[in-house]
């Protein structure tokens, strides 16, 4: 159900093709495909409890661009953000709302590993930290 809702939000946002139909790589060479549906957790730098994360990443309209809908938390603490970014030679970079950024790279197991900077200003996560996501669907 959550995947369907995220895909609908992404489609309504004008991001182009759905993640399932997106090519794996933009104009820059990425180490592994990042488009699709992902689940994992955000781990705060200060050692607090991790927060569940769900994300849908898709190719943007411009060559080399990327868009995403990211949901963090559970229940009443659930927050949603629509992010835009770009492919880079060693991964992707997504701009966080109100500043900051999220850098994602693929590891050897096909997971996305992220580094969040300026997260507290973004509102959907409480601060800086690390992100680890596993693919649910292409």
| Boundaries of every domain in the chain | 2-137
2-137 has which CATH code?
A: 2.40.128.120
> pLDDT per residue over 70-107, tens digit each?
998 888 888 888 999 999 888 899 998 777 888 999 88
Distance from C-alpha of 134 to C-alpha of 82, rounded to nearest angstrom:
19
| Chain centroid, CA 85 distance in Å | 10
Q: Which pLDDT score, from 0 to 100, does residue 77 have?
A: 83
16-75 per-position pLDDT tens digit: 444 444 444 444 444 347 889 999 999 988 878 999 999 999 999 999 999 999 998 888
Beta-bridge partners for 85: 66, 94
What's the pLDDT at 120?
A: 65
What is the pTM (predicted TM-score) of this model?
0.72
């Amino acid at each position: 159900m959550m995947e369907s809702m995220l895909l609908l939000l992404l489609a309504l946002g004008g991001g182009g093709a759905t993640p399932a139909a997106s090519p794996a790589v933009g104009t820059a060479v990425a180490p592994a495909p990042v488009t699709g549906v992902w689940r994992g957790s955000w781990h705060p730098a200060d050692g607090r409890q991790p927060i569940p994360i769900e994300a849908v990443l898709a190719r943007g309209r411009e060559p080399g661009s990327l868009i995403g809908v990211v949901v963090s938390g559970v229940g009443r603490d659930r927050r949603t953000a629509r992010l835009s970014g770009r492919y880079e030679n060693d991964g992707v970079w997504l701009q966080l709302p109100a500043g900051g950024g999220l850098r994602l790279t693929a590891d050897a197991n096909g997971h996305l590993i992220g580094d969040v900077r300026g997260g507290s200003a973004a509102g959907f996560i409480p601060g800086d930290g690390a992100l680890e996501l596993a693919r649910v669907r292409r």
